[in-house]
A and B are shown apart, each in its own frame.
Chain A
Amino acid sequence: MSAARATRTRKDPAPPKSGKETTTTRRSASTEAPARQPDTGHRTDLLESMLRIRHFEERCVELYSAAKIRGFVHLYIGEEAVAVGVNEALTPEDAVVSTYREHGHALARGITADAVMAEMYGRTTGCSGGRGGSMHLFDASRRFYGGNAIVAGGLPLAAGLALADRMRERTNVTCCFFGDGAFAEGEFHETANLAALWKLPVLLVCENNRYAMGTALERHEAQTDLAMRAASYGMVAWAVDGMDVEVVEQAARRAVEGIRAGTGPHFLELRTYRFRAHSMYDPDRYRDRTEIERWKSRDPISLLTDRMRDNGELGDKDVATIEQRITAEIDRAVEAAEQAPEEPVEHLLHHVTSSSAEAVS
């Protein structure tokens, strides 16, 4: 069953059956070819952004194995198109609320590899000052409201950020990432209802990687058509191929346009797949090897690279140049993190309350 479903997703990543469509479930954005004219520069940017995430994550695996970084680390490998594509639709004034699998979201949002890597190392130069670690990346200056490690726990927060923007008459959008597992949590449904009821400017981005930790979608949801269920709250909802960064970008742009136009929350179900275990290593007993291989054949980076190669937009040398640049960037980040100061233990109680916190620049 899972294999069959995955196959269908691969061939035609998102079309909900027409019978299940509701008035607010629009047709999948992926059924059309990308409307934008091929723009080599933009595509190269997308590629570089995805490669940065990929290499960063691979380095994390290495560092984790060497016990340089510890705790729970949830890798984004395989899902890069989602973070990169959605971020293209957002402005710096928009807000992002993320999950514990958020290295990709943070990097796509523009938080430097230095700041994220230092956070992995628990150093003061980390984007959360070493207090958060892998699961809790924050950057107030980029309105990145972080790594929420409670499944669906970030959704109410996103509604509130959006409510404040609305009450203060700002046209910002709040983008909230969450996984398919969040559909089983009450907080998703409470927030979907509240956001739709109050027509809040929220972009709900469900990264459907088909597994809630080790439990497959069909084993945790009675109705697996997530876009349709979101639509039932009275919001616009689309299922989208989450492996094609250009498709993701286009869907996100459309949704954000709609939200800014005042039509209330939009929901994107981005069908994607993580190539590695849930958290660093797990036995992966719950996934079929052939299923993983099938999804890997739709690796978002290969997908874009092949497309650009076919169009003659990219040579082998170009890829190598980008990769060299990124490797050097991550090398520097690791080196800087290794050198970065650890917070003195005397500061342990800082940031518990504002009066105990030192001013943050």
Chain B
Amino acid sequence: MPSLGADMDEGTLLEWLVGPGDLVHKGDPVAVVETAKSTIEVECFATGTMNELLVEPGTTVPVGTPLAVIGPAEERRPVSRAPKKGKPSASTEPSASTEPPSPPPEPAPGPAPALSAARQRGHIEAGPLVRHLAEHSGVDLEALHGTGPGGRVTRTDVEAAVAARAAPRPRVRASPFARRLAAELGVDLATVTGTGRESAVRAADVRRAAPGPAAPTAPAPTGAAPVRPSPQRPPAAARPSEDRAAAMRRAIAGLMTRANRDIPHYYLSTSVDLAAAMDWLHEHNRQSPVGERLLPAALLLKAAALAAREVPELNGFWIDDHFTAGEGIHLGVAVSLRGGGLVAPALHHADTLALPQLMNSLKDLVARARTGMLRGTEVSEATITVTNLGDQGVETVLGVIHPPQVALVGFGRVVDRPCAVDGLLGVRPVVTATLSADHRATDGAVGARYLTAVSRLLQNPEQL
């Protein structure tokens, strides 16, 4: 079927102007075709003998369907008429092909072609619209009983499946911004009274519902720590008031939201064999006065600090689209506060402290953090943070970086694990060390170097 116009996709063969065996010349009209617009005589582009007419008059076929086979002029092949029921051929041969076509198409028996085509696509029979609908509404087509012809899944089937599912709880009417803000501030929208049009919850309503004064949505100035527990609070009243806890919660929310929004994190993890470190630690503790005992945390912190010296790309800040290396290694130590909340004060020059010194500093720092006695430099000068959730029983910490720092090191619980050691199975104390790093500042290879360094340093505890 020739293309007879820009908008023609198919045509109906009305009449053959030539018969099988007739001699035709290039340019001769050979057939009459009806298109949506008009009736047109089709000319042929080859000279030869009309061997075979493939399409019966009255049949509508797509553009590109061969209509007839023209053979060389001298050859007079036996000819056959088109099959009674014409069927579109998938061939893209131009009309009046000069070569014999693939075997003449069989008449299509059985169901209508459209249905049989649908059947071929997969064992679930459903149209694209229905498939799309099912996918969109999370309905498993395979689980549906199709009520359409031939077991076809219909739109109604999918919609019924959707309706059958438990109705979700009513959606709160809230502005998009209020919804976002509620998520950031940890406010349950369902508990907020809306004052907008038709009682819609708006940003101001969410802020009112959030405890304490409105949290700033703008991030804290770069370089400044987010949290500074009030130093005036006496140690005896260490349990912070609800207000303070809420304020701290909001501040953390703001900071962490900013961190997660602005910092493209990447995460690395490795298991570190602590056998040598723990042996050394027990030996040390056995020989030391009780007040000078060390915790595994001290070794981990020291290793983290020394590794940061080796991989300075992770020790510093990302400010104004570039990395600034920290001056000295000041480990931010994540300290969870009683009554909730978190601070990460700095252990200054952690890489230079001997282990007993480091242990004392750690004790001191944690005690002051928990009693609100931190010094200004401690809250603002950490260059890399370490969080140790081993006490809480977890094995792996995938932390959020404390902006503008570029890395956060996590340690989990020291656990005894079966390990292959020198070809034998042994039980060893193992800790999972993780690194969350800012992909703007470094790439995975740098992070890998860091974790490898931590692991190596912990194998030689006496050198820490």
B63 to A, closest residue via Cβ: A67
Task: Check B94 for interface membership: any CB of A closer than 8 A.
Answer: yes
A285 — which chain B residues lie within 8 A by C-beta?
Answer: 38
How many A-B contacts at CB < 8 Å in the complex?
A: 39
Contact, CB under 8 Å: A66 / B3: yes
Contact, CB under 8 Å: B40 / A70: no
B147 — which chain A residues lie within 8 A by C-beta?
Answer: none
Contact, CB under 8 Å: B6 / A66: no
Task: Check B388 for interface membership: any CB of A closer than 8 A.
Answer: no
Which residues from 1 to 22 on chain B have a C-beta closer than 8 Å to any C-beta of chain A? 2-6
A132 CB to nearest B CB, Å: 15
B4 — which chain A residues lie within 8 A by C-beta?
Answer: 65, 280-281
Task: Check A64 for interface membership: any CB of B closer than 8 A.
Answer: yes
B98 CB to nearest A CB, Å: 12
Task: Check B95 for interface membership: any CB of A closer than 8 A.
Answer: yes
Contact, CB under 8 Å: B3 / A65: yes
Contact, CB under 8 Å: B3 / A283: no
Q: Which of B38, B63, B64 contacts A283 (CB 8 A)?
A: B38
Task: Check A218 for interface membership: any CB of B closer than 8 A.
Answer: no
The docked-state distance in angstroms from the alpha carbon of A64 to that of B5 is 8
How many of chain B's residues have a CB under 8 angstroms from any CB in A? Answer: 15
B94 to A, closest residue via Cβ: A66
A301 CB to nearest B CB, Å: 16
Interface residues on A, range: 10 to 19
Task: Check B39 for interface membership: any CB of A closer than 8 A.
Answer: yes
A73 CB to nearest B CB, Å: 8
A279 CB to nearest B CB, Å: 7
Task: Check B318 for interface membership: any CB of A closer than 8 A.
Answer: no
Task: Check B45 for interface membership: any CB of A closer than 8 A.
Answer: yes
Task: Check A71 for interface membership: any CB of B closer than 8 A.
Answer: yes
B45 to A, closest residue via Cβ: A62
The docked-state distance in angstroms from the alpha carbon of A72 to that of B4 is 10
Task: Check A335 for interface membership: any CB of B closer than 8 A.
Answer: no
The docked-state distance in angstroms from the alpha carbon of A70 to that of B4 is 9
Task: Check A293 for interface membership: any CB of B closer than 8 A.
Answer: no
Contact, CB under 8 Å: A281 / B40: yes
A66 to B, closest residue via Cβ: B94
Contact, CB under 8 Å: A71 / B3: no
Contact, CB under 8 Å: B95 / A72: no
Contact, CB under 8 Å: A67 / B5: no
B64 — which chain A residues lie within 8 A by C-beta?
Answer: 67
Task: Check A282 for interface membership: any CB of B closer than 8 A.
Answer: yes
A282 — which chain B residues lie within 8 A by C-beta?
Answer: 5, 37-38, 40
The docked-state distance in angstroms from the alpha carbon of A65 to that of B42 is 9
A134 to B, closest residue via Cβ: B6
Q: Which of A62, A65, A70 contacts B6 (CB 8 A)?
A: A70
Q: Digit string of A37-74 for contact with B (CB within 8 Å is 1, else 0)?
A: 00000000000000000000000001011110011100
The docked-state distance in angstroms from the alpha carbon of A332 to that of B68 is 28
A319 CB to nearest B CB, Å: 18
B6 — which chain A residues lie within 8 A by C-beta?
Answer: 70-72, 279
A281 — which chain B residues lie within 8 A by C-beta?
Answer: 4-5, 40
Contact, CB under 8 Å: B3 / A64: yes
- A to B CB contacts below 8 Å, 7 in the list: A64-B2, A65-B95, A67-B2, A67-B63, A72-B6, A279-B5, A283-B37
Given A66-B3, A281-B4, A282-B37, 11 additional A-B pairs, CB 8 A? A65-B3, A66-B94, A67-B2, A67-B3, A67-B63, A67-B64, A71-B6, A72-B6, A280-B5, A283-B37, A283-B40
- Please list the residues of chain A having a beta carbon within 8 angstroms of any beta carbon in chain B: 62, 64-67, 70-72, 279-283, 285
Closest 6 A/B residue pairs (Cβ): A283-B38, A65-B2, A66-B94, A281-B4, A67-B3, A62-B45
